[in-house]
Structure 1
């Protein structure tokens, strides 16, 4: 993945004017660059600590080093794949295989983590809309408010999943019930058993985090 990132970076530099890129790098303020790097590393450390806390269960603590390693691997996968979501199941799988932590509970911790991110992001977005309301024209303000409303609905759905973790199990039961009515009884039983085990640990994990 690192090699792929380096190849993409080299291709971008070659696509632009290498001499211009080098000139801008020479003019860059090293102090500002170091401050930005320090802030980025602090941000990463904060996210690792947050996930470590969310993974904590009563009477059980995972090794912080392993949690940090799995988080960084997940971030690397996110940064090298479209959508930036592929790394989440990867780190949940790694924490399961590396420590024996239940997969469903690991996914529950990530789900809560992303819900927190969404709430914070939407809060800043609403504050930005309030500040820009007097600057933008009415049409642009309406478009931004519509976008914020859609995001708010999505956030409410995420919060509902966290507050009522039994919802995914009911949705799963409805889906497999329809599959049975179509005559695919054997496949429905097999898939439902696997999904029910995962959603069961997801629900218990979410309830433990919420307590």
Structure 2
């Protein structure tokens, strides 16, 4: 059984429909990437799964439970972590305070999870008292991912994790995501660097104008001449 099962999803914002009949699955421990042109609805898929859009039809199930129609604060308790593309840290709070916010639904902050985040992102340990807003873009992205991992989610959703990063940091960011997945966390990612994302993932979806256009293994999509020509720059 799929960990995440999106079936015939129609969604948008208010009366504006963006997604039409989108189907998508993520198995336990799988690494799945969504690519496509600007305006295709990639981020809307992520927001819809996390309860941040207007649900217009279809079904979203996570771990066998239907989650469409419930609020984000309930969805996070099901085992989904979400890192949006922007505004994904609390800039006036320290690194440690941001991590503590990631565990706000728990009675106390698990020290073991703090240690695991610091082990995965050593720069955060070094800067645990620094305000997040004074950190570099790459460091803030690591902090946002670390905060999402504080609840030990079954699936981590990442929206454009390499956006705005210096070129020499992009490969490092992808390496960290690989490690998170290798440790057993399923990953669903939207990524502008489509070739690199498809090279690393298990499966990929190509979205065009709010609809599924292609779905296959990452390597197969990279090798598909039509996909390369239309969506990957040849």
Q: Shared fold (TM-score greater than 0.5)?
A: no
Q: Which has the larger radius of gyration?
A: 1
Q: Which structure carries more helix by proportion?
A: 1
Q: Which structure carries more strand by proportion?
A: 2
Which one scores higher on RCO, CA 8 angstroms, separation ≥ 6? 2
